[in-house]
């Protein structure tokens, strides 16, 4: 049995009672970064053993994990923040479990793009989740495709690329396209700002180095 368990994206109180129970009951927890996960475990007095499972070792560890699960082990998969598999490691393991006949149960819980989308004030009845754009090859093609969508789309971006990304979005979508930048969600310095792409670009270009995980929500083409 594999449980996919969402963890808080910032505020450690944003975890469900069921998630805490599962993390305590399983035999092993696979964590993207055990140092990050240890803070959560210490907060809720979870003593289950942690094992690293991340982008750089997931292919190599997969056969052994599947064998353990087929032999009756119970495990939970967590990422540093949010729901595993959403721009974080998890898909390969879940797919391998499904193919091997291992039961997978995904708990509901935190993921960054949902609160950003809802709080933006931009239509969210239909939306397209892009995640991280390619850094170089294919980036312009993706931006052109996204700019033509008739409904809202959602991106993840790193702090050091935020201003450049907003500039590129303004070039492809038009400077007056409505958008929202959501940073540090659920944390002390949460910042959710909705404005035109050109105004957002100007605002963040004038700021000191921006920190924190970033979600960009962009209105669809009208």
Would you state the pLDDT for residue 209? 82
List, for residues 148-204, the tens digit of each pLDDT value.
999 999 999 999 999 999 999 999 999 999 999 999 999 999 999 999 999 999 999
From the list 138, 155, 137, the residue with the least C-alpha distance to 219 is: 155
Global pTM?
0.93
pLDDT at 213: 87
Confidence band, pLDDT 50/70/90 cuts, at residue 222: confident
Q: What is the pLDDT of residue 34?
A: 96
Tell me the C-alpha distance between 38 and 16, whole Å: 17
Report how far residue 83's alpha carbon sits from residue 78's, in angstroms, rounded to the nearest whole number: 7
Instruction: Burial-class residue 81 by CB neighbours within 10 Å (0-12, 13-18, 19+).
Output: buried
Per-residue pLDDT, averaged over 26-35, amounts to 97
In total, the chain counts a number of residues equal to: 222
In the chain, what percentage of residues exceed pLDDT 70? 100
Q: Is the pLDDT of residue 42 over 90?
A: yes
Do 175 and 196 touch, CB atoms closer than 8 A? yes
- The residue-averaged pLDDT of 14-26 equals 98
Share of the chain above pLDDT 90, in %: 93
Task: Yes or no: say if 165 and 157 are a contact pair by the CB < 8 Å rule.
Answer: yes
CA 222, CA 220: separation in Å to the nearest integer?
6
The per-residue pLDDT for range 93-135, each reduced to its tens digit, is: 999 999 999 999 999 999 999 999 999 999 999 999 999 999 8
What is the predicted pLDDT for the residue at 175? Answer: 97
Buried b (16+ CB within 10 A) or exposed e, 187-214: eeeeebebebbbbbbbebeeeeebebbb
């Amino acid at each position: 049995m594999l449980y996919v368990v969402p963890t808080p994206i910032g505020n450690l109180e944003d975890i469900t009672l069921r998630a805490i129970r599962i993390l305590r009951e399983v035999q092993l927890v696979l964590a993207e970064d055990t140092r990050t996960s240890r803070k959560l475990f210490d907060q809720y007095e979870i003593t289950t053993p942690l094992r690293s499972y991340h982008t750089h070792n997931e292919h190599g560890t997969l056969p052994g994990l599947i064998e353990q699960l087929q032999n009756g082990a119970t495990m939970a998969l967590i990422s540093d923040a949010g729901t595993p598999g959403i721009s974080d490691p998890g898909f390969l393991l879940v797919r391998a479990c499904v193919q091997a006949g291992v039961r997978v149960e995904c708990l509901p819980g935190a993921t960054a793009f949902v609160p950003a989308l809802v709080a933006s004030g931009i239509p969210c009845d239909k939306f397209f989740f892009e995640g991280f754009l390619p850094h170089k090859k294919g980036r312009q093609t993706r931006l052109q495709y996204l700019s033509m969508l008739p409904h809202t789309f959602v991106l993840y971006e790193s702090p050091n690329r935020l201003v450049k990304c907003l500039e590129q979005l303004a070039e492809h979508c038009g400077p007056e396209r409505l958008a929202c930048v959501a940073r540090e969600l659920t944390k002390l310095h949460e910042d959710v700002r909705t404005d035109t792409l050109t105004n957002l670009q100007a605002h963040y270009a004038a700021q000191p180095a921006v920190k924190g995980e970033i979600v960009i929500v962009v209105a669809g083409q009208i």
